[in-house]
Amino acid sequence: MTFKHVALMMLPLAVLSAPVVAQDDNQAPKISFDFYGKANVSLQSNDDGSGSETELESNSSRIGVKGGSKISDDLEVIYQLEWQVDLADLGGDDNLKSRNQFVGLRGNFGEVTVGRRDTVLKTVQGDIDQFSDYVADVKGLFEGENRTSNTVSYYSPSLNHFRVAGSWVLSEDDAQDDGYSLALTYGDDGLDDTGYYFGAAMDRDVDGYDIERLVGYTKVANTMFGLMWQQQERVDGTAEADGFVASVKQPWGNFSFKAQYQIMDFIDGEDDAFSFGVDYKLAKSTKLFTWYTGRDRETIEAEQRYIAVGIEHKF
């Protein structure tokens, strides 16, 4: 499917700037959908240790549509179709990259979906990563940030703020075992219903790794503090490593100040990164931002430095 085909498919949805609900005169099941997206571009100076350059970067900009339809009072079919788009470099057929794309059922039992979706170990981090989609994203040093195809996912309803979730990743290779990801969370990851959030998760045979992850964050006054620990190794027992992420975010008027430190300790050295940045909210859906990231990577003997200024608009 080319970018032109997808654009033509999405055009009728783009005309509708708000969620839509359709219902015929015979009280047929309600059908709803929401067209959404994010455009995030930065002017960025990149020094990867071998040389530096300045360029425009599209930071996981995306478009998508999601919604569902009531089958009965207790059952709903749901779906999401999302693509990453590059606003800076790639054009034509290379501009689109598949993100979460699935269909499933939601009811009193929770939610079951099939398709391509983030594993529950990835989603258990909640909002702890203050530099998600940028160079300092935890995926730069940590394994486990997987969006897997051929995946069956389950999320339970909340019971006294507890939820369980699982991902079953089907292997298409007879020599490769199916993978699975399991998670248990307590609290609200948006810190709206509760003032705290905790999560524990594990991967087995997912993208070649076995992983354990613990995460927690809370607010003290308006300041958010978070901590994540992870242990990882390849399924063959090699490349064993462990590390942690610590983050903090402080809002002040239309500004948000944030900082993050992460480190992963391998047998052949430590890789660590420190980042700090400032967001300025122009409107509810639009912000300007600047950030700096310094990474010291002993495993590849490189010192990397990045600095950026940019704009993000959500719709």
pLDDT tens-place values along the chain, 315 residues long: 554 454 444 444 443 444 545 455 455 567 778 999 999 999 999 999 888 999 999 999 999 999 999 999 999 999 999 999 999 987 777 889 999 999 999 999 999 999 999 999 999 999 999 999 999 999 999 999 999 999 999 999 999 999 999 999 999 887 789 999 999 999 999 999 999 999 999 999 999 999 999 999 999 999 999 999 999 999 999 999 999 999 999 999 999 999 999 999 999 999 999 999 999 999 999 999 999 999 999 999 999 999 999 999 999
- Per the CB < 8 A criterion, the answer to whether 257 and 250 are in contact is yes
CA–CA separation, 25 vs 210, rounded Å? 53
- Would the pTM of this model clear 0.85, i.e. be above it? yes
Residues 6+ apart with CB under 8 A from 193: 161, 187
Q: How many CB atoms lie within 10 A of CB 179?
A: 24
- Per the CB < 8 A criterion, the answer to whether 81 and 101 are in contact is yes
Indicate the CATH number for domain 34-314. Answer: 2.40.160.10
Of the candidates 274, 270, 272, 273, the residue with the CA atom closest to the CA atom of residue 299: 270
- Please report, for residues 48, 270, 273, the alpha-carbon distance to residue 265 in angstroms, rounded to integers and kept in the order given: 20, 4, 12
Place of tokens 């990867």: 48
Q: How many residues are listed for the chain in this entry?
A: 315
Place of tokens 């639009």: 286
Q: Name the helix (H) or strand (E) containing 185.
A: strand 179-187
CA–CA separation, 156 vs 163, rounded Å? 6
